[in-house]
């Protein structure tokens, strides 16, 4: 069923595993991720960035595509459709009104008071419709669509506590050294702060920039209260690698199903691997 993130993340934090947010870019991503989650009997979060939403034809089209596939595939595991890095109250409202079951308001680049104010407004609206809310503090490095991190800034634990108390969010993404896109060298995650923020807020924590984080760091993050891990780039790389190989080997090929089909399979295998790594198999 289509559900909010609220319960699945509370369960994950208690059970010491993480639910994957896998971003969708098109039909094949959505098919692959839904099938992977169903086969693994795992809850799953479909992440939709504003850019990807626009690419797929808008939030309404996304919701109908996801619902249609869930019906055709007889999906039984809990699925959330989540706006990734929502840039304003208006965008979050648009997603909620289209049928998204969860939204992230990312006002992390704004002054703290403004972040609190916008996030609170989103929570009021979203919660009135049964939709969960994620907020962010600090700056995630790298770039994803239009979201550019101007140098990494670690979230401040006291601000996290205040934001949680003042807004009533369901989960929190404290930037603690992670990066969107590939890492240059090993990530340096702020585990001390992660533990502190988890204890101070009591909230399930979210780790952005899941691509390229070593398994030992994933496990440590989960043990310290991380209950949601976002992955996008790794699936894009997996799909594109296969498509590139196929097209290079067969320059006469023109049926898109002949390269997108194998690309879709590559995403599915990548997602299955992540689900197992995050420990959410058989938690549906």
Residues carrying an active site annotation:
84
Among the listed residues 13, 82, 91, 180, the single contact to ligand G3H using CB under 6 A: 180
Footprint of ligand G3H on 90-119 (CB under 6 A)? none
Instruction: Please say whether the beta carbons of 112 and 123 come within 8 A.
Output: no
- 74 in a labelled binding site: no
Per-residue tokens: 283 = 């938690």
Indicate whether 144 belongs to the interface with ligand G3H (CB under 6 A). yes
Instruction: Please say whether the beta carbons of 180 and 209 come within 8 A.
Output: yes
Indicate whether 262 belongs to the interface with ligand G3H (CB under 6 A). no
Q: What secondary structure letter does DSSP report for 108? A: T
Indicate whether 232 belongs to the interface with ligand G3H (CB under 6 A). yes
Q: Which helix (H) or strand (E) holds 52?
A: helix 50-55
Indicate whether 208 belongs to the interface with ligand G3H (CB under 6 A). yes
Among the listed residues 6, 208, 228, 283, the single contact to Zn ion using CB under 5 A: 208
- 196 in a labelled binding site: no
d(CA 175, CA 157): 11
Per-residue tokens: 148 = 């550019």
* Phi, psi of 190, rounded to the nearest 5 degrees: -85, 80
Stretch that binds Zn ion, among 53-61, 70-78, 196-204, 205-213 (CB under 5 A): 205-213
Smallest gap from Cβ 134 to ligand G3H, in A, equals: 10
Residues across the chain? 284
Query: Binding-site residue total for ligand G3H (CB under 6 A)?
Result: 16
Indicate whether 34 belongs to the interface with ligand G3H (CB under 6 A). no
Q: Provide the mask over 8-47, with x wherever binding to Zn ion is found by CB under 5 A and - wherever it is not.
A: ----------------------------------------
- 142 in a labelled binding site: no
d(CA 192, CA 227): 16
Q: Which helix (H) or strand (E) holds 161?
A: helix 157-167
Footprint of ligand G3H on 43-62 (CB under 6 A)? 47
Give burial (CB, 10 Å; 0-12/13-18/19+) of 181.
middle
Q: Return residues touching Zn ion (CB under 5 A).
A: 208
């Amino acid at each position: 069923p289509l559900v909010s993130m609220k319960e699945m993340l509370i369960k994950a934090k208690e059970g010491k595993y993480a639910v994957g947010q896998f971003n969708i870019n098109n039909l094949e991503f959505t098919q692959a991720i839904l099938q992977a989650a169903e086969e693994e009997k795992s809850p799953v979060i479909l992440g939709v960035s504003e850019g990807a939403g626009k690419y797929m034809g808008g939030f309404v089209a996304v919701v109908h595509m996801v619902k249609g596939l869930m019906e055709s595939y007889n999906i039984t595991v809990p699925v959330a459709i989540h706006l990734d890095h929502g840039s304003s109250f208006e965008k979050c409202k648009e997603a909620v009104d289209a049928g998204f079951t969860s939204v992230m308001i990312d006002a992390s680049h704004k002054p703290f008071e403004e972040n609190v104010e916008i996030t609170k407004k989103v929570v009021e609206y979203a919660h009135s419709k049964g939709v969960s809310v994620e907020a962010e503090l600090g700056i995630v490095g790298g770039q994803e669509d239009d979201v550019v991190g101007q140098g990494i800034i670690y979230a401040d634990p006291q601000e996290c506590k205040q934001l949680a108390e003042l807004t009533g969010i369901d989960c929190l993404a404290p930037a603690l050294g992670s990066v969107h896109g590939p890492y240059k060298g090993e990530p340096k995650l702020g585990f001390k702060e992660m533990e502190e923020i988890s204890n101070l807020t009591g909230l399930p924590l979210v780790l952005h920039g899941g691509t390229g984080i070593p398994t030992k760091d994933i496990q440590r993050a989960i043990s310290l209260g991380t209950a949601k891990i976002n992955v996008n780039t790794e699936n894009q790389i997996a799909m594109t690698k296969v498509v590139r190989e196929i097209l290079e080997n067969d320059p006469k090929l023109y049926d898109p199903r002949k390269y997108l089909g194998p690309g879709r399979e590559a995403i599915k295998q990548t997602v299955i691997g992540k689900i197992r790594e995050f420990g959410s198999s058989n938690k549906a």
